[in-house]
Structure 1
Amino acid sequence: MADILTPALGESVTEATIAKWTKKVGDAVKKDELLVELETDKVSLEVAAPADGVLGAINAAEGDTVVPGTVLGSVTEGGAAAAAAPASAPAKTAKAEAKAAPAAAASSIDITVPVMGESVAEGSMGKWLKKSGDAVKKDELLVEIETDKVAVEVSAPADGVLTIAADEGATVTPGQKIGSVSGSGAAASAPAAAAPAPAAAPANTGSAQVSGGKNDTLSPAVQRVVAENNLDPKAIAATGPKGNITKADAIAAIGQAAPAPAAAAAAPSAPRAVGPREERVKMTRLRQTIARRLKESQNTAAQLTTFNEVDMTNVMALRAQYKEVFEKRHGVKLGFMSFFTKAVVAALHEIPAVNAEIDGTDIIYKNHYDIGVAVGTEKGLVVPVLRDADTLSLAGIEKGIGALGKAARDGALTMDQLQGGTFTITNGGTYGSLMSTPILNAPQSGILGMHNIVQRPMAINGEVKIRPMMYLALSYDHRIVDGKEAVTFLVRIKELLEDPQRALLDL
């Protein structure tokens, strides 16, 4: 067996994306024949077959990110002739085919842990959506592997029968075998599916089925939304990358689709379930990482928070005046985040210490403005990064933040989208927070906390008027940012928001 490896990608290029496989598992290949195309941020590369044979496994699917040396798949050497023989050889008798069947049944394709991103060395197995012995289809979602940053989906490499080699909760590493799919299993299981079996027939229709409020073909997060809201999975429009239903799809379907018939019929008579008084649940890797990083941030930095308040009257008036035209022109709604991001970038230009970080006894001043945007998901808080925010228009910022938020909720963020931010914005106002003291996202030196907009009486030119007010909080590392700089930074943001034309005119 010969491995298909990711080649060196060129100077300063550390990763590539699988663009297209030209063959599928089981196809005969010739040495030096083009098998897969890779794309980097600079060039496209072609990877050829290392030997004559049969493409035995594909370990990295189209769209996956890989690094030099990653095993993309493997070629079973010497298999080309065997694969081609049936085309030219006389038709076999039924007896001969029966004798050959055991040999075919013995073949299987390994399911391995994919590369999970730079600096991610291990992950934890989630819940298998199938059990050993079940028939699976190629590209069908089988299990999620949770790392301390993202969840990685693992799909079936071929049609067949599943054998599980790594249980839920097990710690696994890239390249490790976690199961296999028997290449002959699909054919073997087909007669059973077609045979009359009243009790099992619904499970083999190919449609999403509900059992006890859960669907075994859905991810755990989607199962929970479906079960809690009595949704019918068959009525949910799927937008996932492989035609699967995402959590966002399920949430969007709440209130739009009729409840699943079985759940609706059972609801009136079902007694209220009484759970245990306490329940011990192991923390997910993401939650463990969040806890560790937040505590490390508290222990490392000299954190201090300064507050101010901003009158949102003018920003709200500007949004109300142009929101319809803006959405028609740019295809995205005009929100508050674009105004805050513009104001933050302008303030960072003026107070560069807030955009810097400490490395040992050095201060690293950043001349780029990559803004982290905290997003709450079912699995915990993640902070995807909006790159080069200083070069984006209001529409570009809204589109970028919208795309990052959707990817976060769908569990589709890449490692690159989670690394390298220079400053963070978090919006507790989304959940109704009036005031908070956000914790630094280390090694950054500043984080801005937005809060709920509340109508309050304010003294305006000697008169009391009701204005929409928001408290702002800037947490900063006092080791690098002085109090005067922090206060000036926050006042600058206040000025730009209360007079948004200044930001647009770069004043």
Structure 2
Amino acid sequence: MTRERFTVHFLAETKMAKVDVNVPQLSESVAEATLLQWKKKPGDAVAMDEILIEVETDKVVLEVPAPAAGVLAEVIRPDGSTVAAGELIARIDSEATAAASAPVASPAPAPKAAAPAPAPAPAAKGDIAMPAAAKLMADKGISPGQVTGSGKDGRITKGDVLAAAAPKPPPAAAPSAAPVAARPALPQVQAPLDLSMLAGRPEQRVPMSRLRARVAERLVQSQSTAAILTTFNEVNMQPVMDMRNRYKDRFEKEHGAKLGFMSFFVKAAVAALKKYPVVNASVDGNDIVYHGYFDIGIAVG
């Protein structure tokens, strides 16, 4: 009977120290999401439940916490990636916690030379005030720092306190302006804050986030599916009416056109767009286009 010898090799299994970071469960009606921005980069130490990244869906923004403490070993999906629920986006090395968090031993500091004895501090102003002056300052609520001493070695006297407490003369009034001409001048037109912004009609195109794109889509749909609500607000137009009555004749004589109220409305709209430039924009596909110019279209009947 022949015997055969078999050699069996045992392979030692290395314990895995990597912990997966997955996209959290999304809503039932949401199939995918967008990774916004990683708050950690590979090699950074992370703590348990520390926020690693935010995930944006069509409805909400979710935070993805670290499932374990350690070091962020690998980022699988970069910023801006479209991911699905449960998808692997990063890995954490949990065994690297001690190495990452252990402080580096610093060399012992060299012995310092003995510091020279500090010079005696000068006496405070409260200590160099004459007794009568100190009592008067306490009665009038004046601090020593508000009084300039004129006595010996800068001592504060009673006269110094009385001078500091005396009322200051009011500033001289500015000379009155010369009287204006009888004929009113047209108001000066102020130049825009940045003239270069109006040259060449510049635009800035910014991609919309997933949430903002869905909001824009719903707003467009609401124009045809929802009732349109119009609101009215009352404003005091008397100053505008007075200005129009004051300049309308001269304006028509110099420009050959009547000065109507629409001119004031357009000027107010442009001033509002300059103050809130984020409103001076339009939606083009998945981008928001911010305009560096001001176009006001008016429908005439």
Using structure 2 for the length normalisation, give the TM-score: 0.39
Higher RCO structure, 1 or 2 (CA under 8 Å, sep 6+): 2
Q: Which has the larger radius of gyration?
A: 2
Using structure 1 for the length normalisation, give the TM-score: 0.24
